[in-house]
Amino acid sequence: MSSDHSFLNDVNQMFSDAAQLMSMEEGLANKINVCNASYITRLGVRLRGKMYTFEGWRSVHSNHPSPAKGGIRYAPYADLDEVEALAALMTYKCALMDIPFGGSKGALKIDPSEWEPHELERITRRFAQELARHDFLSPSQNVPAPDVGTNETTMIWIADEYRRMKSGDINALACVTGKPLAMGGIEGRIEATGRGVQYGIQEFFRHPQDLARTGLPDGLSGRTVVIQGLGNVGYHAAKFLSLEDGCRIIAVIERDGVVRNPDGLDIDALKAHVTATGGVAGFAGGTHDADGKAALTDACDILIPAALESVITKDNAPHVKARLIVEAANGPITYDANTILRDRGIVVIPDLFANAGGVTVSYFEWVKNLTHIPFGLMERRRDERGHRVLTQSIEHMTGRSFPTETAQELMSGTREIDLVRSGLDDKIRSAYAEMSMLWNSNPEIPDLRTAAYVIAVRRLAEIYKALGI
Ligand SMILES: NC(=O)c1ccc[n+]([C@@H]2O[C@H](COP(=O)([O-])OP(=O)(O)OC[C@H]3O[C@@H](n4cnc5c(N)ncnc54)[C@H](O)[C@@H]3O)[C@@H](O)[C@H]2O)c1
């Protein structure tokens, strides 16, 4: 990647392409494009006998509708441009998935591996105070979730701090999603993004016209997959694709290189090794090579970057051999690389669709917190009063009517996890159907990414027009 490359410029460019295709009025396009507000904090925390200053950001790209939604990442490389780009992506992702959230994102410039859990807790609580004090954290205004370097424990520290500050707020726990199950979380949220990646790929393979563009045969069983990043998203996607769909994960790229096995890696064993040792080197079930980046151009059917942005650039895009790339990470393909891949006939399932499982299930969690009705209670009411109560609640949350294939599973399901999976699957199927139809019916739409942006931007334009802006 060249040093003058900017992730934010890439997202802006992708938006502009869609706005131009829609002949959107320039003033409105500019309004939708820019971040509404960004908050910068430099917070001091006394640790290890001295004062440390941490820089953090929270950007709101859009808050029509409210609240604005998006993860918080802890990473030493974070900066404001990246946060604004990720916030914009959240706006387009929620609009594409037809989830009534605006877009936001936050980050703290920190390497979490350098701090003990009790130190991270103090830093996080201090960050939460700053965000809440400036209305960048609240169930009605701004609702963070986990992202790179954060997890459900980080989220419950934030929620608990907010609850202390707003002791009378009965909805305080809804100020973040991705919480532990015992503290207002929802079944299936931890793996939701990886699950959404799996459902998105399954849906792609159910569309013969789209699959034909890749030249891949029918069915996921036996497809070879290379994954970058065995964190929350990459691990769950790899696990579900290998154990449930019969894919062969032939390479996993991590910080310390790549581990390859042409017969397929045992993902749970590899994850246990990474957790124990901090990397993939030394894993007995494969061959290690320190040059991880090179594996992005390994021969495979499906490439899933699930770690960082801007890893496929104009330099390596000409050498990519995968027929299908699934953007489990946000922004892993630069704008220039996207053009090269498209010209080479490589199909990309874009981030705003591919990793939307997280925000979709976050929406279910937020609704559950605000209604104070556990999904299990809805099921008991179904038993007493018949199926309608259950389906109505799911219809309300997914915005779609049943029955579909998934509704049948839903009817026989009796646990929260069944409802979450059915709702997620339904959202993924609806969004994919819209993207695919636009891509295949309109010669001006060159790829799935442009289709996704056009659908999202159209919805946003309608909101702004309805508001009279
Ligand atoms: N967590 C979510 O629910 C969620 C939702 C939507 C999108 N995303 C996106 O998915 C991506 C991954 O997020 P996550 O939550 O899994 O983060 P994570 O911190 O759990 O995992 C990231 C993984 O990438 C690895 N990694 C870091 N640098 C690397 C490098 N140079 N090469 C290879 N691997 C490297 C890390 O070691 C880690 O295993 C990010 O782009 C994030 O924005 C996450």
Domain ranges within the chain, ordered by starting residue: 32-183
146 lines ligand 1 (CB under 6 A): yes
Nearest CA to 100 out of 468, 460, 467, 465 is that of 460
pLDDT at 4: 61
On whether the CB atoms of residues 108 and 67 are closer than 8 A, the answer is no
Give percent of the chain above pLDDT 90: 83
pLDDT at 375: 59
- For atom 3 of ligand 1, the residue with the nearest CA is 358
> How far, in Å, CA of 145 to CA of 320, rounded?
32
Strand partners for 437:
none
pLDDT in tens, 124-183: 999 999 999 999 999 999 999 999 999 999 999 999 999 999 988 999 999 999 999 999
Give percent of the chain above pLDDT 70: 90
> How far, in Å, CA of 185 to CA of 145, rounded?
11
pLDDT at 420: 86
Low-confidence stretches of the chain (pLDDT < 50) are 1-3, 376-390, 403-414
pLDDT at 122: 98
pLDDT at 466: 86
pLDDT at 120: 98
pLDDT at 373: 76
pTM: 0.92
- For atom 10 of ligand 1, the residue with the nearest CA is 329
Residue 261 in marked binding region = no
Q: What is the DSSP string of 331-344?
A: S-B-HHHHHHHHHT
Query: Is the ipTM above a cut-off of 0.90?
Result: yes
Fold for domain 32-183? Rossmann fold (3.40.50)
Distance 417 CA to ligand 1 centre (A): 24
φ, ψ (nearest 5 deg) of residue 468 = 80, 20
pLDDT in tens, 62-91: 988 899 999 999 999 999 999 999 999 999
pLDDT at 64: 82
Residue 69 in marked binding region = yes
147 lines ligand 1 (CB under 6 A): yes
Helix (H, G, I), strand (E, B) or coil at 374: coil
pLDDT at 389: 44
233 lines ligand 1 (CB under 6 A): yes
